Amino acid sequence: MHGHTPYSEDQRVSARTLLELLPYLRPHMPRIGLALLCLIAAKLASVGLPFALKHIVDYLDTSGLNALTLAPIGLLLAYGGLRFANVLFGELRDTLFGRVTERAMRRIGLSVFKHLHQLDLDFHLNRRTGGLSRDIERGTNGISFLLRFMVFNIVPTFIEIGMVLVLLGWQYSVYYALIVLLAVVSYVGFSVVATEWRTGFIRRANVAESRSSSRAVDSLLNFETVKYFGNEDYEAQCYDNELAQWERARRQNRLSLFALNAGQAFIIATAMTSAMVLAAKDTLSGSMTIGDFVLINAFMMQIFMPLNFLGFVYREMKGSMANIEAMFALLRQRASVTDKAGAPPLSVRDAELEFSQVCFAYDRDRQILRDISFRLPPRKKVAIVGSSGAGKSTLLKLLFRFYDVDSGQILIDGQNIAAISQQSLRSVLGIVPQDTVLFNQSIRDNIR
């Protein structure tokens, strides 16, 4: 009962995340359809393999090893053809779907990047750049993992399980189908519950990793300041504290993984043993042939090997869901400074600037500007002088509309900048920044 509420919330997050991914996949539906057809063809070939093996074993068991006629040769060729078809259709599926994944990653990555540039200055000043870059990187990688393994592992495995259940119940005893069904339900149920329990550890490790990454980036970006104050040991100690939290989260993650793997292995071993005991009994009683025994064994191996891998895939998918959700949370972030609907562009005639009774505060406890009014006529200069923290830089940020004024107006040629589009406003303003900023590009790119 303790874990019920987080589990429900997590499921809603996963469903919402998948729905948010759909618009990026919709343009590629024909290619996705072809990939799914190849997936089904690969699984039909895979399910046919144990039947070909059964007939080969039965033929050799009844006719002897000396009877190498056209019949067993044909069966052996069919077995080889099915194995080749399984691999071929699987490769075709991977090739077709690979482009879908890559294009979705590209479009989502670009959407997040453009959206972050549209957010207000306040968001970026209060956000750690290192952690932000890690969220984007983990989110795009999570999309790749989620799409690839959902189409390549989750869906194929359950298609194959469905086929095998029908074939075992129809061709043999319903007890074989029940063993497989109970094992699959138990395995999936245990994996879901245990993985939900582990998701908290995964998220804690991600938070710790982001914090340690942010600490390292902040310290290295301010390398000169660290050197001025001789704070190398202090920075190293702070970084080590962040890494210690990451280490604890990873240790909890690893121990919970051991418990999950042990439980999954027990379920698989119990199901395989039960099915083989039942098959051995039926073979000894004469109701099944040696080939049937081999077929049952092959089906069990064929189902439970990918199902065992499915546990890993599900765990990683939950981690990917958490990473994608963190990235989509950035897309849902809304700027506090926005254009009004249908905001017209700025029309510049004389370039007269006026601040009219402007009041502004970054927070309620500290007022920065109180009833500021001045007028800058066209082709004139003005110098704003004041002590540090008096609000000189704030005036410039308000002019560029990085923030909206609390009251009053800023006018250019009589037009309130709050009523025009931000893009047209900034396109007519020039600035020489106080700090020298260089992008990590060539000198030519920085000058341009």
Q: What's the Rg (C-alpha) of the chain?
A: 32
Instruction: Identify which of 348, 326, 411, 347 has the alpha carbon closest to the alpha carbon of residue 374.
Output: 411
User: Per residue in 76-96, is it b (16+ CB within 10 Å) or e — as a string?
Assistant: eebbeebeebbeebbebbbeb
Write out pLDDT tens, residues 51-85.
777 777 767 666 655 555 555 677 778 777 777 88
Instruction: Report pLDDT digits (tens) over 351-392.
Output: 888 888 889 888 777 788 888 888 889 888 888 888 877 788
Q: Which domains does the chain have, with CATH numbers?
A: 4-332 (1.20.1560.10), 353-447 (3.40.50.300)
Tell me the mean pLDDT in the region 225-238. 85
Share of the chain above pLDDT 70, in %: 88
pLDDT tens digits, residue range 176-192?
A: 888 888 988 898 888 87
Contact (Cβ atoms closer than 8 angstroms) between residue 121 and residue 403: yes
Q: Which strand ranges, in their side-by-side order, compose the sheet holding 353-363? A: 366-376, 353-363, 407-412, 415-416
Using pLDDT thresholds of 50, 70 and 90, give the confidence band for residue 131: low
Quickly state the pLDDT bin for 5 (edges 50, 70, 90): very low
Contacts 24+ apart (CB under 8 A), 185-194: 186/267, 187/264, 187/267, 187/268, 187/307, 187/311, 190/263, 190/264, 190/267, 191/260, 191/264, 191/310, 191/311, 191/314, 191/315, 192/314, 193/3, 193/7, 194/256, 194/259, 194/260, 194/263
Query: Structure pTM?
Result: 0.55
| Strand residues in 264-315 grouped as ranges (E) | none
Mean pLDDT of the region 262-277:
86
- The predicted model gives 282-303 an average pLDDT of 79
Cα 235 to Cα 212, 222, 247: the distances in Å are 11, 11, 18
